[in-house]
Amino acid sequence: MSTRRLPPDPNTLTDSRAAAEQAGDDNTLQRLRELELAHAALPPVIDGARRSRLLHTDPIATTWEAWSTTGGQRLLLRCLRPNWRDDPVMRRRMARAVGCVTPSQNSGALSWHPDGDWPHLRVLAEGAMVVDRFPVEDAPNTARMARLLGGGLHSLQQLHDQGAHCGDIGPFLLEQPQGANVVWVDAFGTDARASTDIQMLAEIIADLDPDGLDPVGDLAREWAQEPPPTAEDGVKILVRTLASHLLSARHQLAVSGRRAHQQDRATRLAGMVRRLTASMSPPAGRFCLKATSDGVQVIAESNGDTVRGGAAAGEAVRFLPVVYSPDQGLDAQAARFLLRAWATKDSGDALAREVAQATLGSEDAHALQLMRWLSCMARLRSARLLLEAAHRPSKAVG
């Protein structure tokens, strides 16, 4: 089983090219050069959407994560490469993706923009990419993993019925309230087989359970080696797996009555930790935690209720992602990013950081208060997860 990875960051292409040149890998050098040309030609803002992370590449297009400069919505932009920008055949190839959408997508979720700053396919990315989930943050949840796998199978079935196949679905598998949805962008040069799509979906789900603690994760690992022939067959197998898991969970609950007292105690302690966490409001302010030599800054801001933070270039700090909010709790991965930026602040551009801090009207003492609050919240979150795990059976009940 191979973990699905995103392409190299365009900001680190120089290092990647040097490594490939030293290794004598001509194919990698050629791909990196093509990627450099595509990145250099594309404007940073395309029809009101600011490009961010590179998600996917193929011979005719590159796909980027982007953010609307007006409403702050998260978007996916699939942009034609410079040498195909005015080619009518490649434009029609890109446009055909608009005709294949799954029922979970609304009519405005996917659109083709042949004119404007650059010809591109635009997707309203509602929900987070499943490949962005950090697998060891929480114990695998059977119900959630079943929604992801089942939703992905349902979405693939709808696409396959329309004759559409995905290939590498990693950047295009979005987690939504009803499960998961595959956004079809008609990637060029894919292996057009239903079993290949199901195999790649299974690899993504299996990566969320690296320790083999969940029955859905075990099923996904089997499919990563031998996938079912169709998504419809996969749904039937998933239903049988969940039914068998439910019978096993009921048996475990029936024989675990002697541990009721310990479970109740852990539950009460977990409730106390949750209430303590809810009572701690973050300090308000805006801070520059680090500034690097290339002008990228790590900014954090808090209104005393919601904490936002992340990397920003220059003045582009309007749409920082949420690190903490009362209704969603703490994003542990984002909190670690801010804490790491603060811990390594002295290794960045000290002058740029001082100028940015002065512009924001803040100082290190205030930033230190926020970092201590984030560290405390992260410790409380870990304690809560341990307490909640203490009163679960060894096989977590979804």
Domains of the chain: 10-128 (3.30.200.20), 130-254 (no CATH), 279-386 (no CATH)
Cβ–Cβ under 8 Å, residues 160 and 127: no
The one-letter amino acid at 228: P
Residue with tokens 């190299």: 8
Instruction: Kindly tell me the sign of the dihedral angle through the C-alpha atoms of 187, 190, 195, 200.
Output: negative
| pLDDT given for residue 361 in this prediction | 85
pLDDT of residue 338: 93
Degrees, nearest 5: CA angle 289-290-293: 165
pLDDT of the residue at 313: 75
Instruction: Please tell me whether residue 221 adopts helix, strand or coil conformation.
Output: helix
CB-count exposure of residue 196 (10 Å: 0-12, 13-18, 19+): middle
Rounded CA gap, 147 and 144, in Å?
5
- Residue 168 tokens, joined: 């590498």
DSSP-assigned beta bridge partners for residue 63: 56, 78
pTM (predicted TM-score): 0.56
The pLDDT > 70 percentage for the chain reads 77
Helix, strand or coil for residue 322? Answer: strand
Question: How confident is the model at residue 219, as a pLDDT?
Answer: 92
List the chain residues with pLDDT less than 50: 1-3, 106-107, 394-398
